[in-house]
Amino acid sequence: MKLLSCLSTPKNQRRLQDRSKPSFWLGLFSALFLLSPLGAETIVMSSTTSTEQSGLFAHLLPKFREVSGITVKVVALGTGQALDVARRGDADVVFVHDRAAEDRFVSEGFAERRYDVMYNDFVLIGPASDPAGIKGKDLISALKQIASSQVLFTSRGDRSGTHAAELRFWKTAAIEPAALVGYKACGCGMGQALNIAAASGSYLLADRGTWLSFKNRADLAILLEGDQRLFNPYGVMAVSRKKHPHVKAEAAEKLVQWLVSSQGQAAIASYRIAGEALFFPSAKGSNESRRP
């Protein structure tokens, strides 16, 4: 009875009448939509485990959202899988590191342009005791030494950019890695591969960014670095609306252009762990740009 009497007061009756008007609810829903995450545009970026696990995106993407209002959802996979996601139209942007595969993606019409965005390098990691004796050697000599020593080698085996690079290096060394006694492919991301190597005392190829952010190093150490073949460029592409009309092309292009802008490049350069840069900006402007 008290509740009914409260509702029946002139003041509350006016409130109820106001709430019965369509304009009241339209205004309420509009306000909730604008204030909620649903009111902000969201795009999907398929990318690599190396960029995600290094912590780079946690550093970059909030900065992009501040200037654009666009939220970026990252799907972190190996480069081959990331490109496949984009080929199916399940991503608006792709950010990967396998130049040959990226050029193929553009030539197939899945992106209009590919932009250089940054680079780092690969490093060959193994037990600090270096049972294969590769320290001080060039990359190809080191792989031959690993093969002849029959030591453990962990491969990502996941069609990632790192895996593709590793296979190219083995081919240059004229070695079939699958035939090696100690060669094990985990079919996993960079962080998990590093964990396996740390637990088993094996050698592996890693990108420097993930290595610098990796904490569970155990007895692992960088044994080979600086070989020019270990250069590791990254590219970014907006998925073409000609292939997939539903993609959020305008928002995707905003992200691409921000990444290659002076603001985005400065944000990449500013990401450091213990004072050491993980990635280096390299934007040049188009898919015609070639690595140095």
What's the confidence (pLDDT) of residue 284? 78
Q: What is the mean pLDDT of the chain?
A: 87
CA atoms of 148 and 181, how far apart (whole Å): 10
Q: Say what percent of the chain tops pLDDT 90.
A: 81
Residue 26 has pLDDT above 50, yes or no: no
What's the confidence (pLDDT) of residue 39? 53
Q: How far is CA 207 from the centre of its chain?
A: 12
Q: Give the mean pLDDT of 94-113.
A: 96
What does pTM read for this prediction? 0.79
What's the confidence (pLDDT) of residue 40? 76
37-64 pLDDT, tens digit per residue, is 445 799 999 999 889 989 999 999 999 9
Residue 18 has pLDDT above 60, yes or no: no
Residue 3 has pLDDT above 90, yes or no: no
123-182 pLDDT, tens digit per residue, is 999 999 999 999 999 999 999 999 999 999 999 999 999 999 999 999 999 999 999 999
Residue 231 has pLDDT above 70, yes or no: yes
Residue 92 has pLDDT above 60, yes or no: yes
